Amino acid sequence: MASADFESKRKTIQSFVRAYPDFPQPGILFRDICPILRDPAALNTVIDLFEEHVKKNHMKVDVVVGIDARGFLFGPLLAQRLGVGFVLVRKKGKLPGSCVSVAYDLEYGKAEAEVQEDAVAAGQKVLLIDDLLATGGTLFAAVELMKKLQAEVLGCLVIIELKDLNGSDKLKPHSVFSIIQY
């Protein structure tokens, strides 16, 4: 994709993102992607940008892994476009069957994530997707889960990256593709 075309699409997506100060608690500036979901053209543009990035940078992808919960909104659409499967990484206690779990820190708390132990086969090439990268805790937990399943993490995809929080540093050596940076 030409740089001007990417920039035009990026600006379009950015115009849909709303900022809410002091949500969910004082001092947090929440970036809301819900307006993107309400607009079919905007949602399609997000998936276009992800698909173009993946096809340009990753020769073979076996599985798209979506992070609870907003990664579930974009991940299946991208997986369908790529013709690959989709896997859920959920908050602890939300998946049936045998699961693998990892504890991690959030921007404003602690949590635990899990994946079904047979969701990804050893050696499969996976892309992780979520709506936002802040401190990197959630995506880092997903990377750790994929390591436990012996999958190969190709990279991480997000709509928004909060650069000042240095979340991408926590994910190194894995690449992070973000459509919008604040």
CATH number at residue 124: 3.40.50.2020
Q: Give pLDDT, residue 110.
A: 86
Total domain count for the chain?
A: 1
Q: Give pLDDT, residue 155.
A: 98
Q: Give pLDDT, residue 171.
A: 97
Q: Give pLDDT, residue 108.
A: 66
pLDDT digits 0-9 by tens, 23-45: 988 998 999 999 999 999 999 99
Residue ranges making up the domain that contains 46: 3-181
E strands in the chain: 18-21, 29-32, 63-67, 85-91, 99-106, 109-116, 125-133, 152-161, 176-181
Q: Give pLDDT, residue 1.
A: 59
Q: Give pLDDT, residue 2.
A: 73
Low-confidence ranges of the chain (pLDDT < 50): none
Catalytic residue among 51, 52, 107, 152: 107
Instruction: Please work out, in degrees rounded to the nearest 5, the angle formed at the alpha carbon of residue 76 by the alpha carbons of 104 and 121.
Output: 65
Q: Is 107 a catalytic residue?
A: yes
Catalytic residue among 70, 90, 114, 161: 70
pTM of the model: 0.94
Q: Is 7 a catalytic residue?
A: no
Q: What DSSP element (H or E) covers 137? A: helix 137-148
Of 119, 36, 21, nearest to 70 (Cα)?
36
Q: Which stretches within 31-132 are classed as H helix?
A: 34-38, 40-57, 71-82
Residue 140 CB: number of other CB atoms within 10 A?
21
Q: Give pLDDT, residue 151.
A: 98
Q: Give pLDDT, residue 6.
A: 94
Q: Give pLDDT, residue 118.
A: 98
Residue 85 CB: number of other CB atoms within 10 A?
17
